[in-house]
């Protein structure tokens, strides 16, 4: 279960707390998500989590499940800042006019009024050994400023810092809410049929086999099979597909999609926690834990950068006054304080993960599940894309074009024998043959064996029947006898003699050629088609979609070897070039797992595809690969904009601060202002194409 939390101030804090929680027995799988401000843990372990939080960081507290954070805290913080601003302004005016200590006292009251939460966090960080954070640095900087007589300046800096923190938190919170809204497709209720009544219940209470009614305009609450009614279903929440899909009796509907104008009666086939919508949300949550190389670099950089700047600030405060004639400690201490305020890397540690998470959310909204920011980064560096043929570039819906028999066996008998042998196979070719036969198989089928990449072997009425490719027949010592024709050739042999051939055809997907052309425009250097089908069939499809390279008659292990050879060639390419394999996720699981980025297409109902692939396309359009690459590249551009902007501005202000050409006011902008700009820029990834 997930619970709302308050008190998480940065991704680093979330990681640290998660690490401490996982050290406790029974909490090894707990997950702390900074972006959604949630902790995922079993309900019976909640007290253990609270005990660890009280010890590790009392600022982090768990709210009730599904509780929504109100804006009361934000309003009270605004009131504190307004009252503190009035105290600072009044005290500064009184001191400038009269020079009395009353003015300074008012400024100090304002400083403590607005700054006490910051000071308290700094002290708690020191106690827990977490010294180098923004609260400690600002507390030291403003405290030292008061010590050298800059009381008013210290008060205003603390006010501006708190204002920046508040605005930053609101910006991050708004971004989190936008991401949550993108993915908020969980159904809230189900109309359960109980006898003659219709009860509105929580979807979590509905069991497999129960019957529910989905009214026009309602979101379908659970995966199930339509038992009555017809309608058009909007699948865009899951697949991004804008055209509604017609459904009728016997067809599957998925949780999270929206019913059109018809009334549907649905028999539930999966509980809510195993439904399509739950798997999608689970994958998106899991994806946030897989960091991109850029994120890992920023995290490691921040751990070394801030202490280094603190050491540099101490050197700036102490060394010049000792070595330079006429240099005053107060001037150089002031410059050191400027460096301390500038040094916090919040802009990077907040905005970079937010950018990647926004990209993952935007992709999910398009029906593209990317299992981690590392794969999002990999899509940005694609060099080679390898396509499977059947079910990927083609529709995978085969049609029997012709049936031939020999040795006195009629075409109808060949088709009947093939349908019997394929009775227990789930391959698209087997389904096509059974569909073409169109009758119940009356033969007795025993000893069925599916030979991956070749065909099937079975005993039909006591006779050994082979159905598959010519390579399969040669392997079994049978001469196919028939000459190869354009299309997919399926041979049928009985007791060691080839008695017939079935010629199949498959249609190329409408957007396959467009997708290939778009990938070329994006700069993908190389594209290939790999298939287990015959040379002529593969060549026809490859040329139809605009791909020049293809390899036919491959077994699953052959595809793996081809991909490994291509990957060895990429090792010499610059910039960490990546290879992606696009397949149906069922028959191609080995090569999908072996490629740099495995993409399973049309995998909305396939558990095997979801498990094997790094990127799951929820519909069957090759153009979704193009969308995924575009989102990845846009996300990468925005993330690196933040990196360059943050480091560039901070470096400039560090240099200016060292030579005394900027003040603490500039330092506050270089810290809080840049962080706010980076967060707002990073949030743009949520609106990716």
CATH number at residue 474: 3.40.1110.10
SS3 labels along 226-269: EEECCEEEECHHHHCCCCCEEECCCCEECCCCEECCCCEEEEEC
Tell me the pLDDT tens digit for each residue of 591-628.
888 889 999 887 554 566 667 788 988 888 899 999 99
Checking if the pLDDT of 16 tops 90, the result is no
Rounded distance between C-alpha atoms, residue 613 and residue 409, angstroms = 44
Predicted confidence at residue 408, as pLDDT, reads 86
Tell me if 22 is assigned to some domain.
yes
Rounded distance between C-alpha atoms, residue 377 and residue 629, angstroms = 10
343 touches 309 (CB < 8 A): yes
Residues in the chain, overall count:
689
Domain CATH number, residue 231: 2.70.150.10
Catalytic residue among 388, 470, 506, 533: 388
Predicted confidence at residue 226, as pLDDT, reads 94
Q: Which residue has the tokens 């008060």?
A: 155
Report the mean per-residue pLDDT for the chain: 82
Tell me if 383 is assigned to some domain.
yes
* 404 and 490 share one domain: yes
Rounded distance between C-alpha atoms, residue 84 and residue 89, angstroms = 9
* 452 and 521 share one domain: no
Which has the closest alpha carbon to 17: 115, 126, 130, 96? 130
* 134 and 216 share one domain: no
What burial class does residue 25 get, using C-beta atoms within 10 Å of its C-beta: 0-12 exposed, 13-18 middle, 19+ buried? Answer: exposed
Domain boundary among 466, 481, 505: 505
637 touches 685 (CB < 8 A): no
Which has the closest alpha carbon to 392: 151, 620, 637? 620
Predicted confidence at residue 66, as pLDDT, reads 43
Tell me the pLDDT tens digit for each residue of 635-682.
999 999 988 998 888 888 888 888 888 877 777 777 778 888 888 888
636 touches 377 (CB < 8 A): yes
Checking if the pLDDT of 516 tops 90, the result is yes
Checking if the pLDDT of 254 tops 90, the result is no
Checking if the pLDDT of 508 tops 50, the result is yes
The stretch 38-65 carries a mean pLDDT of 78
The percent of residues above 90 in pLDDT, for the chain, comes to: 17
Rounded distance between C-alpha atoms, residue 407 and residue 419, angstroms = 19
339 touches 313 (CB < 8 A): yes
SS3 labels along 612-658: HCCEEECCCCCHHHHHHHHHHHHHHHHHHHHHHHHHHHHHHHHHHHH
* 412 and 536 share one domain: no
Rounded distance between C-alpha atoms, residue 632 and residue 639, angstroms = 10
Tell me if 282 is assigned to some domain.
no
340 touches 653 (CB < 8 A): no
- Comparing 288 with 193, which gets the higher pLDDT? 193
* 106 and 169 share one domain: yes
**Which of 7-16, 510-519, 525-534 ranks highest by mean pLDDT?**
510-519
Tell me if 195 is assigned to some domain.
no
Which has the closest alpha carbon to 424: 386, 465, 376, 369? 465
Tell me if 236 is assigned to some domain.
yes
Beta bridge partners of 528: 386, 549
Domain boundary among 457, 482, 505: 505
Tell me the pLDDT tens digit for each residue of 135-181.
777 888 888 888 887 788 888 888 877 887 777 667 666 655 655 55
Which has the closest alpha carbon to 134: 650, 662, 689? 650
* 383 and 462 share one domain: no
The stretch 375-392 carries a mean pLDDT of 90
* 387 and 411 share one domain: no
Known catalytic residue at 619: no
Domain coverage including residue 218: 207-270
Ranges 7-21, 324-338, 353-367, 426-440: which has the least confidence: 7-21
Ranges 83-87, 340-344, 367-371: which has the least confidence: 340-344
Structure tokens given for 684: 């743009």
492 touches 386 (CB < 8 A): no
Tell me the pLDDT tens digit for each residue of 265-320.
999 998 887 777 776 666 666 665 666 777 777 777 777 777 887 888 889 989 99
* 479 and 516 share one domain: no
Tell me if 657 is assigned to some domain.
yes
Q: How many CB atoms lie within 10 A of CB 251?
A: 13
* 534 and 390 share one domain: yes
Domain CATH number, residue 24: 3.30.70
* 294 and 413 share one domain: no
Residues ≥6 apart with Cβ < 8 Å to 66? 4
Predicted confidence at residue 620, as pLDDT, reads 82
Rounded distance between C-alpha atoms, residue 458 and residue 468, angstroms = 12
The stretch 336-345 carries a mean pLDDT of 79
Whole-Å CA distances, 476 to 267, 451, 456: 45, 11, 11
The confidence band for 65, taking pLDDT boundaries of 50, 70 and 90, is low
Predicted confidence at residue 362, as pLDDT, reads 83
Checking if the pLDDT of 132 tops 80, the result is no
Q: What single string gives the DSSP state of each residue in 28-39?
A: TT-EEETTTTEE
The stretch 210-229 carries a mean pLDDT of 92
Rounded distance between C-alpha atoms, residue 140 and residue 126, angstroms = 12
Order across the sheet with 399-405: list the strands: 399-405, 497-505, 488-494, 463-468, 455-460, 445-451
Domain boundary among 571, 591, 618: 618
3-state secondary structure of 659: coil
Checking if the pLDDT of 417 tops 70, the result is yes
Tell me if 199 is assigned to some domain.
no
Residues ≥6 apart with Cβ < 8 Å to 607? none
Predicted confidence at residue 67, as pLDDT, reads 41
Predicted confidence at residue 266, as pLDDT, reads 95
Structure tokens given for 232: 């058009």
Checking if the pLDDT of 14 tops 90, the result is no
Q: What single string gives the DSSP state of each residue in 133-162?
A: SHHHHHHHHHHHHHHTT-HHHHHHHHHHHH
Which has the closest alpha carbon to 391: 509, 563, 532? 509
Angle, helix 151-183 to helix 346-365, in steps of 10 degrees: 20
Predicted confidence at residue 313, as pLDDT, reads 84
Checking if the pLDDT of 363 tops 70, the result is yes
Rounded distance between C-alpha atoms, residue 292 and residue 373, angstroms = 5
Predicted confidence at residue 71, as pLDDT, reads 43
Ranges 168-172, 206-210, 444-448: which has the least confidence: 168-172
* 657 and 537 share one domain: no
Which value, to the nearest 10 degrees, does the dihedral of the CA atoms of residues 209, 215, 220, 222 take? -20
* 409 and 390 share one domain: no
| DSSP classification of residue 265 | E
Report the Cα 31 to chain-centroid distance in Å: 16
Tell me if 629 is assigned to some domain.
no
Predicted confidence at residue 84, as pLDDT, reads 87
**Which of 17-26, 46-55, 100-109 ranks highest by mean pLDDT?**
100-109
Q: Tell me how many domains the chain contains.
A: 5
Checking if the pLDDT of 442 tops 90, the result is no
């Amino acid at each position: 279960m997930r619970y709302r939390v308050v008190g998480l101030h940065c991704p680093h804090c979330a990681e640290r707390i998660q690490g401490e929680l996982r050290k406790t027995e029974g909490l090894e799988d707990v997950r702390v998500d900074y972006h959604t401000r949630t902790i995922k843990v079993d309900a019976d372990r909640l007290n253990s989590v609270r005990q660890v939080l009280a010890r590790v960081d009392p600022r982090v507290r768990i709210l009730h499940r599904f509780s929504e954070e109100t804006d009361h805290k934000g309003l009270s913080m605004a009131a504190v800042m307004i009252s503190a601003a009035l105290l600072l302004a009044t005290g500064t005016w009184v001191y400038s006019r009269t020079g009395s200590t009353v003015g300074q006292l008012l400024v100090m009251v304002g400083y403590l009024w607005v700054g006490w939460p910051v000071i308290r966090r700094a002290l708690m960080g020191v106690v827990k050994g977490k010294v180098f954070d923004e609260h400690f640095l600002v507390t030291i900087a403003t405290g030292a400023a008061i010590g050298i007589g800059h009381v008013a300046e210290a008060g205003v800096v603390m006010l501006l810092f708190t204002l920046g923190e508040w605005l930053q938190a609101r910006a991050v919170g708004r971004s989190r809410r936008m991401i949550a809204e993108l993915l908020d497709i969980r159904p809230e209720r189900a109309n359960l049929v109980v006898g003659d009544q219709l009860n509105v219940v929580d979807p979590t209470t509905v069991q497999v086999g129960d019957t529910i009614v989905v009214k026009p305009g309602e979101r379908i609450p659970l995966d199930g099979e339509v038992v009555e009614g017809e309608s058009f279903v909007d699948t865009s929440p899951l697949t991004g597909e804008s055209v509604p899909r017609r459904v009728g009796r016997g067809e599957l509907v998925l949780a999270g999609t929206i019913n059109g104008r018809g009334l549907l009666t649905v028999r539930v086939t999966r509980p809510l926690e195993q439904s399509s919508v739950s798997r999608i949300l689970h994958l998106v949550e899991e994806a946030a834990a897989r960091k991109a190389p850029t994120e890992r670099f920023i995290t490691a950089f921040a751990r070394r950068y801030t202490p280094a700047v603190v050491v540099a600030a101490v050197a700036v405060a102490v060394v010049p006054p000792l070595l330079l004639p006429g240099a005053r400690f107060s001037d150089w201490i002031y410059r050191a304080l400027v460096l301390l305020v500038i040094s916090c890397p919040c802009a990077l540690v907040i905005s970079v993960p937010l950018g990647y998470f926004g990209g993952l959310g935007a992709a999910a909204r398009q029906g593209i599940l990317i299992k981690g920011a590392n794969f999002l980064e990999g899509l940005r560096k694609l060099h080679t894309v390898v396509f499977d043929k059947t079910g990927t570039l083609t529709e995978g819906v085969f049609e029997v074009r012709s049936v031939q028999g020999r040795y006195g066996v009629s075409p109808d008998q060949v088709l009947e024998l093939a349908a019997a042998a394929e009775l227990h196979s789930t391959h698209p070719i087997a389904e096509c043959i059974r569909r073409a036969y169109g009758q119940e198989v009356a033969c007795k089928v025993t000893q069925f064996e599916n030979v991956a990449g070749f065909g099937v072997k079975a005993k039909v009425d006591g006779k050994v029947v082979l159905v598959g490719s010519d390579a399969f027949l040669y392997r079994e010592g049978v001469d196919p006898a028939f000459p190869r024709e354009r299309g997919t050739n399926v041979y049928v042999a009985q007791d060691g003699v080839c008695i017939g051939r079935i010629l199949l055809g498959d249609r190329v997907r409408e957007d396959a050629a467009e997708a290939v052309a778009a990938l070329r425009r994006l700069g993908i250097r190389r594209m290939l088609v790999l298939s287990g089908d015959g040379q002529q069939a593969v060549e026809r499809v490859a040329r139809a979609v605009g791909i020049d390279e293809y390899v036919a008659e491959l077994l699953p292990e052959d595809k793996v070897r081809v991909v490994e050879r291509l990957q060895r060639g990429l090792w010499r390419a610059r910039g960490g070039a990546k290879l992606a394999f696009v397949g149906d996720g069922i028959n191609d699981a080995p090569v999908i797992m072996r490629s740099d980025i495995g993409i399973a297409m049309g995998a909305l109902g396939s558990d095997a595809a979801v498990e094997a692939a790094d990127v799951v396309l929820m519909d069957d359009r090759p153009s979704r690969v193009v969308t995924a690459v575009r989102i990845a590249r846009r996300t990468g551009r925005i993330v690196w904009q933040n990196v360059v902007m943050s480091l560039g501005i901070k470096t400039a202000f560090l240099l200016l601060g060292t030579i005394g050409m900027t003040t603490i006011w500039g330092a506050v902008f270089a810290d809080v202002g840049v962080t706010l700009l980076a967060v707002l820029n990073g949030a743009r990834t949520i609106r990716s194409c």
